[in-house]
Amino acid sequence: MRPSTRSARSSATSKTTASSGDLSQMKVTTQSLQASLPCMMQPSHSIVSVAMPTGSREPVTKTLSGLLQLGLGPVTGGQMAGQAATPATTASERFRDLVGAAPEGLWRAPGRVNLIGEHTDYNFGLALPFAIDRATVVAARRRQDNLVRAFSCTLESQAIASLDDIAGKAPSYFEPWARFPFGVIWAMARAGAAVPGLDIVIASDLPIGGGLSSSAALSIAVAIAVNDIAAAGLSKAEIARAGQQAESEVAGLPCGLMDQLAVLEGQAGAAVLIDFLSLQTEQVPLGLGPLVVINTRVEHANAAGAYADRRNACEEAARELGVPSLRQATLEQVEDKLAGELRKRARHVVTEDGRVVEAAACLRNGQPIGDLLVASHASLRNDYEVSCAELDLAVDVALGSGADGARLTGAGFGGCAISVGATAEDLVTAMSGAFARAGFPQPEVFAVAPTDGAGRLA
Question: Closest separation between CB of residue 119 and ligand GLA, Å?
Answer: 5
Which window, 67-75, 111-119, 233-241, 341-349, contacts ligand GLA (CB under 6 A)?
A: 111-119
Question: Closest separation between CB of residue 215 and ligand GLA, Å?
Answer: 8
Collapsed DSSP state (helix, strand, coil) of residue 134: strand
- When binding is defined by CB under 6 A, the residue of 78, 87, 290, 410 that contacts ligand GLA is 410
C-beta of residue 225 within 8 angstroms of C-beta of residue 197: no
Crossing angle of helices 258-265 and 236-245, rounded to 10°:
140
Nearer to ligand GLA, 411 or 420 (CB): 411
Task: Sketch the per residue contact string, 219 through 258, with ligand GLA: x for CB under 6 A, - otherwise.
Answer: ------------------------------------xx-x
Q: How far is residue 115's CA from residue 213's CA, in Å, rounded to a whole number?
A: 13
Nearer to ligand GLA, 314 or 445 (CB): 314
Q: 446-458 burial by CB neighbour count: b if 16+ within 10 A, else e?
A: bebebbbbbeebe
Task: Tell me if 187 contacts ligand GLA by CB under 6 A.
Answer: no
Task: Tell me if 119 contacts ligand GLA by CB under 6 A.
Answer: yes
Task: Tell me if 300 contacts ligand GLA by CB under 6 A.
Answer: no
Q: How far is residue 436's CA from residue 257's CA, in Å, rounded to a whole number?
A: 36
Sheet harboring 126-127: ordered strands across?
126-127, 270-275, 280-285
Strand pairing category for 147-152 and 48-51: unpaired
Collapsed DSSP state (helix, strand, coil) of residue 375: helix
Nearer to ligand GLA, 90 or 204 (CB): 204
Nearer to ligand GLA, 163 or 293 (CB): 293
Question: Closest separation between CB of residue 7 and ligand GLA, Å?
Answer: 29
Which window, 55-63, 115-123, 188-196, 391-399, contacts ligand GLA (CB under 6 A)?
A: 115-123
Collapsed DSSP state (helix, strand, coil) of residue 138: strand
C-beta of residue 415 within 8 angstroms of C-beta of residue 211: yes
The sign of the dihedral angle between the CA atoms of 37, 41, 45, 50 is positive
CA 189 to chain centre: 23
Question: Closest separation between CB of residue 457 and ligand GLA, Å?
Answer: 25
Nearer to ligand GLA, 258 or 428 (CB): 258
Q: How far is residue 159's CA from residue 200's CA, in Å, rounded to a whole number?
A: 10
Task: Tell me if 118 contacts ligand GLA by CB under 6 A.
Answer: yes
Nearer to ligand GLA, 255 or 374 (CB): 255
452 DSSP assignment: -
- Among 22, 121, 199, 259, the active-site one is 259
Nearer to ligand GLA, 112 or 149 (CB): 112
Strand pairing category for 157-162 and 48-51: parallel
C-beta of residue 8 within 8 angstroms of C-beta of residue 2: no
User: In terms of C-beta density within 10 A (0-12 exposed, 13-18 middle, 19 or more buried), how is residue 438 classed?
Assistant: exposed
Question: Closest separation between CB of residue 257 and ligand GLA, Å?
Answer: 7
Task: Tell me if 78 contacts ligand GLA by CB under 6 A.
Answer: no
Question: Closest separation between CB of residue 282 and ligand GLA, Å?
Answer: 18
- When binding is defined by CB under 6 A, the residue of 132, 411, 416, 448 that contacts ligand GLA is 411
Size of the site for ligand GLA (CB under 6 A): 11
Task: Tell me if 259 contacts ligand GLA by CB under 6 A.
Answer: yes
455 DSSP assignment: E
Question: Closest separation between CB of residue 121 and ligand GLA, Å?
Answer: 5
In the residue annotation, 259 being an active-site residue is answered as: yes
Which window, 25-33, 45-53, 114-122, 186-194, contacts ligand GLA (CB under 6 A)?
A: 114-122
CA 239 to chain centre: 16
Q: How far is residue 24's CA from residue 30's CA, in Å, rounded to a whole number?
A: 18
Active site residues: 259
Binding interface with ligand GLA (CB under 6 A): 114, 118-119, 121-122, 255-256, 258-259, 410-411
